[in-house]
């Protein structure tokens, strides 16, 4: 797999608004937000999509969700947020696994977000 834009962000080769970073994950602001708070949670290990992660890798899945919850808490949206992930070449704009964390909108907007 060739380096994606996310790999370049992880390596600090191109700028991004980094909201969280540790040894395994980085969280950045989405440049095309669909909500008042729209963050991408990206593993530093370059998995092409969720299907590239071994089903038995419980530690990865746990750390992904733990990191997401921590970022949501740090952003003040831990009581109400949405998570979604695109999987596969037909769905992903960037071939590097990432989870969308979205929040900060009122309930009416939240309910209509995916109905279009």
**Which residues have a catalytic role annotated?**
98
Question: What is the C-alpha separation between 26 and 86, in angstroms, rounded?
Answer: 18
Give just the sign of the alpha carbon dihedral 50, 55, 57, 60: positive
Q: Where are the alpha helices (DSSP H) in the chain?
A: 5-10, 58-74, 107-112
Cα three-residue angle 4-9-14, rounded to 5 degrees = 105
| Euclidean distance between CA atoms 50 and 55, whole angstroms | 10
Distance, CA of 55 to CA of 4 (rounded, Å): 23
């Amino acid at each position: 797999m060739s380096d994606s834009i996310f790999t370049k962000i992880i390596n600090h080769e191109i700028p991004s608004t980094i909201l969280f970073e540790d040894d395994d994950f980085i969280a950045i602001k989405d440049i095309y937000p669909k909500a008042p708070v729209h963050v991408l949670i990206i593993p530093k290990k370059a998995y092409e999509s969720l299907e590239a992660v071994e089903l038995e890798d419980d530690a990865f899945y746990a750390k992904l969700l733990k990191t997401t919850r921590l970022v949501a808490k740090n952003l003040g949206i831990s009581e109400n947020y949405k998570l979604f992930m695109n999987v596969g070449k037909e769905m992903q704009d960037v071939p590097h696994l990432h989870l969308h964390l979205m929040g900060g909108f009122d309930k009416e907007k939240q309910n209509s977000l995916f109905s279009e």
